[in-house]
C-alpha cells in the first residue's frame, strides 16, 4: 500500500476535483444514462481531461450486477421490476443488485490512473470512504467500513453506522482512468429497499437449491435519515456536505485550468454508449 499512497495527490486524494451536480435532473430517464455518462467522462479524463466528482439521482431504478444477470430467472425478475415502473439494467461495475430512488445519492469519482496502473484499487476505494466520512463528520456518527452480512450488494467496502449499511462502493477501470461509484441511501426506509431486493432474488433464483446470490435480510440496511440526525432532508444535506468537502480542496488557479478542460458529451453520444452497455451486459433472453 506504500506505493499506492502516491496516487493521492493531496492529503486524502480529493484535491481539485470538478463538481458535476446532476442531483436535480431527476427526470425518469434510462437508468443507464449516468453510467454511460461516466464511461465517456472517464475516457476523457484518461486522455488529459480533469478529475470529476459526479453527483446524481434517479427517481425509480434498479441496477443489477453481472452475477445477478446469470441467475436462471433473471429475465422474469427484470420483467417484474419493469411492471412496477422501475428502469432496470445490468451495470459494468462490480457489486450486486441495488434499488435507486430520489432518496439515494450516487457519487462517481472519475480519476486518472497517474501511471500506477491497477495496483491501487483499494486505495481508490479509500478515497470514496474518506469523502463520505468527511461529509458526515458534522453528524457526530462513526462511519465504519467492512462487509455487513444480510445487507444487499455486500462487499469489503460496505459503509455502515452502528452495524447498519447505508452505502456500497464499486469500481469501473479503463486503460488510463477509472470511476469509483458509491450509492448512499440518504432518505426512506432501508427495510423497504431490502425487501424489494430480496423479492427480486426470490424470483431471479427460483428453482435454485443453493443460492448464488446475497442473502438479504430486512434489518441490516438503513438510510441516513434513519441512522443520523439529518432528518427528512438528508439527501440534500448530504449533497451539500459532499460539495463542501470538494470545494474546500479546490485551489482557484488549478480548478480554473481544470474547468477549461471539461467536456460534456451530447445526449446522442450518451445514448450510443447506453446501447453498447445494454448489448454487452444485458440479461440473455432465451427464445
> How far is residue 21's CA from residue 211's CA, in Å, rounded to a whole number?
38
> How far is residue 94's CA from residue 272's CA, in Å, rounded to a whole number?
22
> How far is residue 35's CA from residue 172's CA, in Å, rounded to a whole number?
10
Active site residues: 153
Q: Which three cell numbers stand for residue 23?
A: 442531483
Amino acid at each position: 500500500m506504500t506505493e499506492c499512497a502516491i496516487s493521492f495527490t493531496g492529503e486524502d486524494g480529493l484535491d481539485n476535483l470538478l463538481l458535476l451536480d446532476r442531483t436535480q435532473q431527476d427526470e425518469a430517464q434510462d437508468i443507464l444514462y449516468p453510467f454511460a455518462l461516466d464511461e465517456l467522462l472517464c475516457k476523457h479524463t484518461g486522455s488529459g481531461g480533469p478529475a470529476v466528482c459526479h453527483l446524481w439521482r434517479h427517481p425509480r431504478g434498479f441496477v443489477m450486477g453481472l452475477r445477478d444477470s446469470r441467475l436462471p430467472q433473471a429475465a422474469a425478475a427484470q420483467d417484474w421490476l419493469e411492471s412496477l415502473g422501475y428502469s432496470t439494467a445490468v451495470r459494468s461495475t462490480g457489486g450486486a443488485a441495488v434499488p435507486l430512488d430520489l432518496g439515494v445519492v450516487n457519487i462517481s469519482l472519475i480519476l486518472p490512473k497517474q501511471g500506477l496502473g491497477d495496483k491501487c484499487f483499494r486505495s481508490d476505494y479509500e478515497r470514496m470512504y474518506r469523502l463520505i466520512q468527511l461529509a458526515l463528520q458534522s453528524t457526530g456518527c462513526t462511519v465504519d467500513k467492512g462487509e455487513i452480512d444480510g445487507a444487499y450488494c455486500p462487499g469489503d467496502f460496505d459503509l455502515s453506522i452502528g452495524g447498519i449499511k447505508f452505502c456500497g462502493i464499486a469500481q469501473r477501470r479503463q486503460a488510463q482512468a477509472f470511476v469509483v461509484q458509491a450509492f448512499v441511501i440518504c432518505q426512506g426506509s432501508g427495510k423497504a429497499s431490502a425487501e424489494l431486493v430480496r423479492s427480486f432474488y426470490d424470483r431471479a433464483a427460483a428453482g435454485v437449491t443453493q443460492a448464488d446470490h446475497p442473502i438479504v435480510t430486512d434489518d441490516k440496511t438503513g438510510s441516513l435519515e434513519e441512522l443520523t440526525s439529518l432528518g427528512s432532508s438528508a439527501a440534500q444535506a448530504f449533497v451539500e456536505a459532499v460539495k463542501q468537502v470538494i470545494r474546500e480542496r479546490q485551489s482557484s488557479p488549478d480548478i480554473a485550468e481544470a474547468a477549461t478542460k471539461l467536456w460534456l458529451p451530447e445526449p446522442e453520444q450518451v445514448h450510443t454508449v447506453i446501447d453498447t452497455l445494454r448489448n454487452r451486459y444485458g440479461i440473455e433472453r432465451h427464445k
